[in-house]
Amino acid sequence: MKKKLTTIPFKGTQAQEAQLDELIAKNKDIPGALMPVLQGAQEIYGYLPQEIIRHIALGMDKSVSEVYGVASFYSQFTLTPKGEFAVSICLGTACYVKGSGKLMEEFEKELGIKAGETTADGKFSLTDTRCIGACGLAPVLTVNSDVYGRLTPAEVKGIVDKYR
């Protein structure tokens, strides 16, 4: 999957940086620790800004290209900030057969963005996700940690309105 780089300027706090440095120091000498560090950094900042990728490369004594290579390889890592409410729609097979593609279309219409984008006000982001393993509830989607199952496209507007 091609990753989009963000144009939104990076705003990090000192406290976040201290947290990140602690994480790096703890993992630096463990073999194969780059992934856990990236996962931790994404938890701290919500995404992986270029500045942070550079910071991690320096701290872990790796090249920026290697760190960026790993960050861009895995779909869990995001290089753009997510919206305040992150909508992810399951496009796994069971959900797809039950019409989750239509849910995606409806959300794109309702929010005016495409999958992988964030609304201009930073409120909503829309992504597709692989099977979340709740196939009994298909079609299913999540908004942050709220789960919605057995949905029809007609219910989409109501869900968006709840968070607006």
Partner 1 sequence: MVRSHVLICGGTGCTSSNSTAIMEKMKAELEAVGLQDEVSVVLTGCFGLCALGPIMVVYPEGTFYSRVSVDDVTEIVNEHLVKGRPVKRLVYDETLSGDEILSLNETGFYKKQHRVALRNCGVINPEVIDEYIGADGYQALAKVVTEMTPEEVIKCILDSGLRGRGGAGFPTGRKWEFASKVQSDKKYVCCNADEGDPGAFMDRSILEGDPHAVLEAMAIAGYAIGSDEGYIYVRAEYPIAIKRLQIAIDQAHEYGLLGKNIFGTDFSFDIQLRFGAGAFVCGEETALMTSIEGKRGEPRPRPPFPAVKGLFGKPTILNNVETYANIAQIINNGPEWFSAMGTETSKGTKVFALGGNITNTGLVEIPMGTTLREVVEEIGGGIPNGKKFKAAQTGGPSGGCIPASLIDTPMDFENLIAIGSMMGSGGLIVMDEDSCMVDIAKFFLAFTVDESCGKCTPCRVGTMRLLEILNKITDGNGEMEDLDRLEELCNYIKSASLCGLGQTAPNPVLSTLRYFRDEYIAHIRDKKCPAGVCKSLLSYTIDAEKCKGCTLCSRVCPAGAISGTVKQPHVIDLTKCVKCGACMEKCKFGAIERK
Tokens of 16: 């976040």
Three-state DSSP class for residue 75: coil
User: Does 80 participate in binding partner 1 (rule CB under 8 A)?
Assistant: no
User: Does 9 participate in binding partner 1 (rule CB under 8 A)?
Assistant: no
- Residues 125 and 112: beta-carbon distance below 8 Å: no
User: Does 156 participate in binding partner 1 (rule CB under 8 A)?
Assistant: no
Answer for which of 73, 112, 122, 157 binds partner 1 (CB under 8 A) is 73
**Which residues, in sequence order, are CB contacts of 9 under 8 Å at separation 6+?**
none
Q: Are strands 124-129 and 85-90 parallel, antiparallel or unpaired?
A: parallel
Share of the chain residues as helix, strand and coil, in percent rounded to the nearest 5: 50, 10, 40
Answer for which of 74, 112, 114, 122 binds partner 1 (CB under 8 A) is 74
Judged by beta carbon, residue 11 or residue 38, the one nearer partner 1 is 38
Segment near partner 1 (CB under 8 A), from 48-56, 79-87, 114-122, 133-141?
A: 133-141
Residues that bind partner 1 (CB under 8 A): 1, 31-36, 38-39, 66, 69-70, 73-77, 91-94, 96-98, 129-138, 140, 147, 149
